[in-house]
Chains A and B, each alone.
Chain A
């Protein structure tokens, strides 16, 4: 079946540090890949997405590249801010079959950024 594995957290950084959160996946075919962010007490918000190999999704300074050869979709940001403190989820949506359109999530990574 489909699965998503994220690096274990929590991750604690100082403001303006570089961020990487690793995400790898297992799926048949060419799934769509997503990063979601959850701020305290809120629902999930779509941060960025990529729908085919070598696509780069970007938003609010965050980037992630769809790497088919390594089945990865790592999240990066060059300079984090205190306001980036949140839980980040990697997810995939299957390209076809009985799982088409269903999201499979990683376990989430808690990010805390200190001033």
Chain B
């Protein structure tokens, strides 16, 4: 059971480039989320999905797009990378229903130069 798998683990981009961070889970979880982690700021929600075909914005959505065509996959797209998007990105998933904790991936460390 792989859990939540994120690729790549590390990425360096130049300002203005675009890329997609991949996230896949094999637990049949309906809920999936993307967070970014910055020093001293905890984790902030970027985008969120409650099931295939349904997405919603989180706290810091600007500059990012998502789609959810299958239950398993929830890719995060950076449209035009900026230095302010340098961060560690975590994908997470959980089952439907109240009180469940999220399972997190191991993260993608992104540097935009």
Contact = CB atoms under 8 A, between A and B. Distances in A.
Interface of A: 4, 32, 34, 36, 42-46, 49, 51, 89, 93, 95, 101-108
Nearest to A55: B99
Nearest to B97: A101
Interface residues of B, number: 25
Contacts of B33: 102-103
Contacts of B58: 102
A105 B106 contact: no
Q: Dominant SS at the A interface?
A: strand
Contacts, number: 56
Contact of A103 (B4, B45, B50, B98): B45
Given A89-B42, A102-B58, A107-B41, A43 B101 contact: no
B50 A101 contact: yes
User: Which label, helix, strand, loop or mixed, suits the secondary structure of the B interface?
Assistant: strand
B110 to A, nearest CB: 15
Contacts of A103: 33, 35, 43, 45, 92, 102
Contact of A107 (B40, B101, B103): B40
B74 interface: no
A108 B101 CA distance: 17
B96 to A, nearest CB: 8
A43 B104 contact: yes
A104 B35 CA distance: 10
A48 B10 CA distance: 29
B30 to A, nearest CB: 9
A9 to B, nearest CB: 10
A51 B100 CA distance: 9
5 contacts: A32-B99, A45-B104, A93-B98, A95-B98, A105-B42
B75 interface: no
A36 B98 CA distance: 17
Contacts of B41: 107
Contacts of A101: 31, 48, 50, 94
